[in-house]
Amino acid sequence: MIISMIPKFLEQGGKKTVMIWGAAGIGMKCLRTLQAAGIDVANFVDKDPGKQSVSIAGLPVISPESLFERDPKDIYIFIATINYTDEISQILREHGFKEYIDFVDYFRWYEIDKPCLPHNDFEKEKCKQVEASKAYEAFLMESFGKTSKELTVSVVGLGLHCQRLFLGKFEVKYVFDNSKKQQGRQIKGYTILPPAELKNIKKDDMVFLLWIYYEHIYERVKKQLMDYGISEDRIVHAKPLAERLYRIDSWSYSAGLADRKVLSLFASIGKDPAKIRYLDIGANHYLFYNNTYLFYNQGACGVLVEANPDLCEVLRNNRPRDIVLNCGASTNSMNGIMTYYKTTRIGRNSFLKDKIIADMQKIPDLRILEELSIPMYPVNRIIREHFADGHIDFISIDIEGMDCEVLESIDWDAVRIDVLLAELNPNSDRVSSFISWMGEKWYDYEFLADGMILFYRRDVFGNIN
């Protein structure tokens, strides 16, 4: 297992002080992984001044400037962030730090359910990439009659999957993104361009790979490219292409492989995936970044709770075995009707207007498009009406800021939940108290990527690292 291999991996370079760069959810996941391996972590490194003044998980948080005052030869750093790995790596190299590793490189840390450390899997990774490159060239020849060197292949949409699966691995000429925050950044040797730059670029033999999962955003960006004179047959949806290249069509639909982790838990007790019953609160899209579609795809069914009526229609059309409730999940005291705010970013829709306004400070193009009156159902009512025996195999909850309140309101003595996957901020005092309470009551827990926490019952799964 990955945990037992970490000490041997670190011993190769002699005894060093271990630090984690990134004091957010992924940093917590990294910390728990290292602690489970018996590795002492000295501290977090984070450039956020607000974090530098507090202790997180009992460890101090130092600034990069404080790190650079140390001798690089004595330190090993785990980079635990998603979008800034390249910048952090470059900064470390500039200051003489050569002993570091990207904790979030899923394709090197994991081979489906078989964890492995990066240095042990480079040859397998290299072979996998060779096969993917052959499939990529075959796709281009089949679709456009030319190789990647004869075409001007461009990428649109700079998400995690694009960075991990594509950039630096395949022949790409340009990278575009509509986010002003991304534009101008240097990532894997590419300068991120705004789509408006297409006015100044020769478009002969251009092919565009759109790394955009949500259908309405995909259609909007496709139209944007067509307005710049790009033919529709030159625009390719990148996710199906990536599935073809890496042969991972049924691999994972969650962010950060969370669904695979849940599946491996049930596999450890011999549970038939088709017999899993789930409750997905904040189901969102039926497929993309969805924590229950992997189980639906293997014959399981459950209840999907989604406040956005447009997404409910998509859910009903694509997951007919599931029960879809167009409502918000609430505490016992939040019954009735609430205002639901649809925004320009579907993942930021919320009942909490103040949260959206706060997000607007960080996301310049975020704005409220529509206000809807949506019924609120207490989560205990949903459980009583749809899980009469009081047993749920798996609950996934992601409701943009209301998660902890709703979870606290569950009648935990009346319902048995084997696995819970929730998006929670462990730095919040309220969340920290809830995590401790869950740990004292029935559950072990693990920090996953992207701010997710996985809880699982000790009496069902035993003591699992």
Strands 114-115 and 110-111: antiparallel
Q: What is the pLDDT of residues 144-166, one digit of tens each?
A: 899 999 999 999 988 766 877 78
Which pLDDT does position 287 carry in this prediction?
Answer: 76
Residue 417: closest CA among 381, 449, 454, 452 = 454
Distance in angstroms (rounded) separating the CA atoms of residues 144 and 154: 14
**Sole residue written with tokens 């461009």:** 154
Fold annotation for 122-246: Rossmann fold (3.40.50)
Distance in angstroms (rounded) separating the CA atoms of residues 445 and 392: 17
Instruction: Provide the 10 A C-beta neighbour count for residue 288.
Output: 18
Q: Answer whether 122-246 and 255-336+376-461 agree in fold.
A: yes
Instruction: Give CA 15 to chain center in angstroms.
Output: 33
Distances from the Cα of 138 to the Cαs of 130, 135, 149, 244, in angstroms?
12, 5, 13, 11
Contact 434, 422 (CB under 8 A): no
**Average pLDDT, consecutive stretches of 10 residues, N- to C-terminus, the chain (465 residues):** 54 77 84 79 91 84 94 91 81 90 59 37 53 83 89 87 78 91 87 93 88 77 92 86 63 78 91 96 84 93 94 91 95 84 83 88 83 93 95 92 86 94 84 88 83 90 69
Q: Spell out the domain ranges in the chain.
A: 2-116, 122-246, 255-336+376-461
| The token pair that represents 143 in the structure block | 């679709």
Q: How does 31-43 read in b/e, with b if 16+ C-beta sit within 10 Å?
A: bbbbeebebebeb
Contact 303, 280 (CB under 8 A): yes
- Which CATH superfamily, name and number, covers 255-336+376-461? Vaccinia Virus protein VP39 (3.40.50.150)
Residue 39 DSSP symbol: P
Instruction: Provide the 10 A C-beta neighbour count for residue 191.
Output: 12
Residue 382: closest CA among 450, 334, 429, 340 = 334
- What's the predicted TM-score (pTM) here? 0.60
Residue 147 phi, psi (nearest 5): -85, 170
Distance in angstroms (rounded) separating the CA atoms of residues 276 and 393: 6
Distance in angstroms (rounded) separating the CA atoms of residues 379 and 396: 13
Vertex 234 angle, CA 229 and 239, to 5°: 125
| The token pair that represents 333 in the structure block | 């005291």
| The token pair that represents 225 in the structure block | 């490219």
**Sole residue written with tokens 């507090």:** 54
| The token pair that represents 420 in the structure block | 């819970």
Which pLDDT does position 283 carry in this prediction?
Answer: 92
> Which CATH code for domain 2-116?
3.40.50.20
Which pLDDT does position 123 carry in this prediction?
Answer: 44
Q: What is the pLDDT of residues 201-248, one digit of tens each?
A: 888 889 999 887 666 788 889 999 999 999 999 998 887 777 677 655
Residue 40 DSSP symbol: P
Residue 343: closest CA among 332, 335, 351 = 351
Distances from the Cα of 263 to the Cαs of 257, 288, 457, in angstroms?
10, 17, 14
Q: Which residues contact 356 (CB under 8 A, 6 or more apart)?
A: 341, 343, 348, 350, 366, 368
> What is the per-residue DSSP string for 170-234?
S---EEE-S-TTTTT-EETTEEEE-GGGGGGS--TTEEEEE---SHHHHHHHHHHHHHTT--GGG
The proportion of the chain whose per-residue pLDDT surpasses 90, expressed as a percent, equals: 39
Distances from the Cα of 224 to the Cαs of 122, 198, 228, 288, 419, in angstroms?
39, 11, 7, 22, 42
The secondary structure element, H or E, covering residue 74 is none
Distance in angstroms (rounded) separating the CA atoms of residues 85 and 22: 10
